[in-house]
Homo-oligomer: A and B are copies of this chain.
Amino acid sequence: MAKIIECVPNISEGRNHEVIEACVDQIRNTAGVTLLDYSSDASHNRSVITFMGSPEGVMNAAVALTKKAVELIDLNHHTGEHPRMGAVDVCPLIPLKDITTEEAVGYSKQLGERLWNEAGVPVFLYEDSASAPHRVNLADIRKGQFEAMPEKVKDPMWTPDFGGAFCHPTAGCTAVGCRMPLVAFNINLSTDNVDIAKSIAKIIRRKNGGFDCVKSNGFLIEVPADEEKGSPARKYAQVSINMTDFNRTPLYRVVEVTKAEAKRWGVWVTGTEIVGLTPMRALIDSAEYYLQLEGFDFDKQVIENYML
């Protein structure tokens, strides 16, 4: 069985097509990895690249990408809505197959060391790889952004894990760490009252006493009229969710609690959506629950597991 890691670097360039392609080419041209997706946001001025492969391949590709980003991106000239502290702002490693969290943390530390040694960028370890509890959340590490980093790294609380009290003058700092696969999951409601979605979002998220592995918020989704299809404009409230560890908080449980809470407002769930990629396990868990499947062994009974 082959070890497979997913890697989702975020680079601080979402407008210049040539720079973005030059960075993505580093993934395309590295052996042992597969480019899954990349997308750019001009207002955020940021691109998210998703690839996967062997641990060795993933580390090589991330180093090559970082070298190219350091060469081409200068944060002194970077503007955008999304907070950022580095040319490669953050580079999470996600254990996908035949690899424990502990092993993936080990690889993230190897990668951090290589980014400093080979690309000259200081690295903070975050999430499961963090060297202290106050360094788990990326938002805390990144607070002050690129502009404040040269001063911030002098504080022993915020010295990078690799590179010492230093911030690269044009490429800033990078956060590297192991985290669980994240599933972006939306639940649509039979109402256009966004306050109901916001109330439910609060009920289900950890921040307000809800599920440990749920981050959520409520939004109003406005769908314009489509004259060609003859469909009128419509609005509906949506609970938008990041499932940060579906092994610990499964999707079906969040759906069932959302249904139960929506009922008190006379509202029901009209549908759900998964945005982007999901590991199959996130859905198999829900099938097991609703079908009342007993004694199912995911690793041994799902035939695709023998192909990977």
Q: Per-residue 0/1 for A284-307: is the Cβ within 8 Å of any B Cβ (1 yes, 0 no)? A: 111111111111100001111011
Residue of B52, B278, B291, B301 near A272 (CB, 8 A) is: B291
List the B side residues contacting A132 at CB < 8 Å: none
Give the complex CA separation of A81 and B59 in angstroms: 57
Q: Is the CB of B280 within 8 A of A295?
A: no
CB A180 to nearest CB in B, in angstroms, measures: 13
Number of copies of this chain that the complex holds: 2
List the B side residues contacting A36 at CB < 8 Å: 303, 306
Q: Is the CB of A292 within 8 A of B308?
A: no
Q: Per-residue 0/1 for A147-174: is the Cβ within 8 Å of any B Cβ (1 yes, 0 no)? A: 0000000000000000000000000000
Interface of A, helix, strand, loop or mixed by DSSP? mixed
List the B side residues contacting A288 at CB < 8 Å: 283
CB A9 to nearest CB in B, in angstroms, measures: 17
Q: Is the CB of B283 within 8 A of A295?
A: no
**Residue among A272, A278, A291 with max Cβ neighbours from chain B (10 Å):** A291
Give the complex CA separation of A274 and B288 in angstroms: 10
Q: Is the CB of B295 within 8 A of A287?
A: no
List the B side residues contacting A34 at CB < 8 Å: 306-307
Q: Which residues of A contact B (CB under 8 A)?
A: 4, 6, 34, 36, 52, 96-97, 181, 188, 251-252, 255, 269-274, 276-280, 283-296, 301-304, 306-308
Q: Can you give 20 A-B contacts (C-beta < 8 A)?
A: A6-B303, A52-B303, A52-B306, A52-B307, A96-B303, A255-B292, A271-B293, A271-B294, A272-B291, A277-B302, A277-B303, A279-B302, A280-B280, A280-B302, A284-B284, A284-B287, A286-B290, A286-B291, A289-B290, A304-B304
